[in-house]
Amino acid sequence: MRHYPNFDWLRLFFAVQVVAMHSGAWERVLINPVPAFIAVSGFVVLGSIERRSLTSFFLSRALRVLPLLFVSFLVIGAIFGASEMRQTFLFWLWPMGPAPLNAVVWTLIYEEVLYVCMAILFVFGFYRRPLLIAVAFIGSLYFARNPPPFLYPVTYVLISSFLLGSVAYLYRHWIVRLPSMVAIGWFVLGMAGVATLKYSMGSWVDDFFVHLIAIAGALCFAIAGPQLPRLALDLSYSLYLFHLLSRALLMHFIPLGVPLFMAMLATTIPVCVVAWYGIERPFLSLRDRLFFRRLPARYPS
């Protein structure tokens, strides 16, 4: 699969927005970051699964996600105590009840379940028919806007976002034909629309279509827009995973707002650099040595 550097920049952009929200620097966002993260995963992970065996796919995803996650649990235990570590671990596995200090872990189990669902659909040949996935995405829009009571409402939003990313992957050869200025314009106008909304978890459902249009614009920009230089370091995951730990320590000295946002970035980014070179990159290298057995693309794009 062709590499699109813009996706790496988008993930970093989404992570910085999460930091801004949690620091109280801004009550609004330019794009809803968690569904946007999930949409990017729907694109990137489909490209991975169609070129690997299922075993290597799941092991490679585990080596990408779990090492840093488990290190974060250990850091929480060392700084905030065993009880907080246990609560965070359980919240990752079952994100219900009181949120722990590092509450962002709730999104990871959703993403991992979506990986499993994608693998099942892939094995049964659903992704052989791109139109079928597109129809499933369109059908998911109704449930995202009118969530049934069976699951937590944001679940349907994340499913739609993941399917949107998969549809973008399946039709990427059409999307890439968009003029660059159209892709840029869609992305910018989408963000402008989202910026007019006050952000809350309730807005995920109430303003779902506005958020989704902006996320679609981001995907089009990543595919058809001018490609930015490759990032030497991918800090988005570690920034997302560790920023609340910095906030917990800094809030004793700095009030919510822009100063806290800047302080959180200043203290978390060095940790992210260490995490990249000490944990993430070594495990990615191990993954590539063990499991990067490319298979021919099984399905037409």
Q: pTM of the entire structure?
A: 0.93
Establish if 122 belongs to a structural domain.
Answer: yes
Length of the chain: 301
Establish if 296 belongs to a structural domain.
Answer: no
Establish if 267 belongs to a structural domain.
Answer: yes
Query: Could you tell me which of 23, 30, 95, 108 has the C-alpha nearest to residue 68?
Result: 108
- Give per-residue pLDDT as tens, 56-84: 899 989 999 999 999 999 999 999 999 99
Only one residue has tokens 């707002």, namely 257
Establish if 300 belongs to a structural domain.
Answer: no
Establish if 205 belongs to a structural domain.
Answer: yes
User: How crowded is the C-beta side of 220, counted as CA atoms within 13 Å?
Assistant: 22
Question: How many percent of the chain have pLDDT more than 70?
Answer: 96
- Give per-residue pLDDT as tens, 12-46: 999 999 999 999 998 899 999 999 999 999 999 99
Establish if 285 belongs to a structural domain.
Answer: yes
Could you give the number of structural domains in the chain?
1
User: How crowded is the C-beta side of 5, counted as CA atoms within 13 Å?
Assistant: 8
pLDDT of residue 19: 98
The pair of three-digit structure tokens given for residue 247, joined into one six-digit string? 């906030």
Only one residue has tokens 């722990």, namely 100
Mark 35-58 as b/e (b = at least 16 C-beta within 10 Å): bbbbbbbbbbbbbbbbbbeeebbb
The pair of three-digit structure tokens given for residue 29, joined into one six-digit string? 């966002």
Establish if 299 belongs to a structural domain.
Answer: no
Task: Determine the Cα–Cα distance for residues 262 and 240; give it in Å rounded to an integer.
Answer: 15
Range of the domain at 93: 5-289
- Give per-residue pLDDT as tens, 189-209: 999 999 999 888 778 888 999
Task: Determine the Cα–Cα distance for residues 237 and 272; give it in Å rounded to an integer.
Answer: 9
Residue 69 Cα distances to 47, 108, 109, 284, angstroms: 23, 9, 11, 14
Residue 183, pLDDT above cutoff 90: yes
Only one residue has tokens 């920049």, namely 9
Establish if 295 belongs to a structural domain.
Answer: no
Query: Could you tell me which of 214, 220, 133, 217 has the C-alpha nearest to residue 175?
Result: 220
